Structure 1
Amino acid sequence: MEEEFHELTDRVRAELRSPQDLVAYERLLGLARKNTPAGREELARMLVAVERPLWAREIAAFILGCAGDKRAFETLVLLLNYREPVRCATAAHALGKLGDPRTARAAAALATNPLRTAYALHPVRLLAELRAPQSVPALIATLERLLTPHNPYWRVALACVEGLGALGDRRAVPALTAATAHPRLAAAAAASLARLGVHEDAAGAPGGGAPGEGAPADAGPRGGTSADAP
Structure 2
Amino acid sequence: MASGGRTRQQDGSEFAALLRRVRAEAASPEASADCAELVALARDGGPESRDALADVLAETERPLWAREVASFALGCAGDRRAFETLIFLLNYRDPVRGATAAHALVRLGDPRTARAAAALATNELRTAYALHPVRLLVALRAPESVPTLVGVLSRLLERPVPHWPVALACVEGLGRIGDARARPVLQEAAHHHRLRAAAHAALARAGG
TM exceeds 0.5?
yes
Higher relative contact order (CA 8 A, sep 6+): 1
Tell me: CA distance 1:65–1:159, structure 2 relative to 1, closer, same or farther (3 Å): same
Report deviation, 1:170: 0.7
Residue equivalent to 1:121 = 131
User: Matched residues in 2 for 1:46 and 1:196: separation?
Assistant: 44
Residue equivalent to 2:3 = none
AA aligned to 1:19 is P
Structure 1 runs (4+) deviating above 2 angstroms are: none
User: Matched residues in 1 for 2:103 and 2:161: separation?
Assistant: 27
Question: Secondary structure, in 3 states, of the residue corresponding to 2:161?
Answer: coil
Residue equivalent to 1:15 = 25
Report deviation, 1:104: 0.1
User: Matched residues in 1 for 2:159 and 2:95: separation?
Assistant: 25
User: Matched residues in 1 for 2:30 and 2:85: separation?
Assistant: 23
Between 173-182 and 14-23, report the one with greater CA deviation.
14-23
Residue equivalent to 1:168 = 178
Given candidates 96, 106, 110, the residue that maps to 2:106 is 96
Is 2:63 the partner of 1:60? no
Report deviation, 1:44: 0.3
Superposition pairs of residues 73-88 of structure 1, within 5 angstroms: 73-88=83-98
Question: Secondary structure, in 3 states, of the residue corresponding to 1:52?
Answer: coil
User: Matched residues in 2 for 1:91 and 1:57: separation?
Assistant: 11
Task: Provide the alpha-carbon RMSD of the alignment.
Answer: 0.9
Report the structure number with the largest CA radius of gyration: 1
Report deviation, 1:149: 5.2
Superposition pairs of residues 31-50 of structure 1, within 5 angstroms: 31-50=41-60
User: Matched residues in 1 for 2:39 and 2:60: separation?
Assistant: 20
Is 2:166 the partner of 1:156? yes
* Count of residues in correspondence between the two structures: 198
AA aligned to 1:45 is D
Residue equivalent to 2:195 = 185
Report deviation, 1:169: 1.0
User: Matched residues in 2 for 1:96 and 1:76: separation?
Assistant: 11
Residue equivalent to 1:204 = none
User: Matched residues in 2 for 1:8 and 1:108: separation?
Assistant: 25
Report deviation, 1:196: 1.6
Given candidates 112, 115, 123, the residue that maps to 1:105 is 115
Residue equivalent to 1:140 = 150
Scaled by the length of structure 1, what TM-score is found?
A: 0.84
Unaligned stretches of 5+ residues in structure 1 = 199-230
User: Matched residues in 2 for 1:196 and 1:36: separation?
Assistant: 44
Report deviation, 1:150: 4.0
Unaligned stretches of 5+ residues in structure 2 = 1-10
Report deviation, 1:33: 1.7
Deviations 1:119-168 (A, max 9, x none): 00000000000000000000000000110354241110000001111111
Q: What percentage of residue pairs aligned between the two structures are identical?
A: 64
Report deviation, 1:97: 0.6
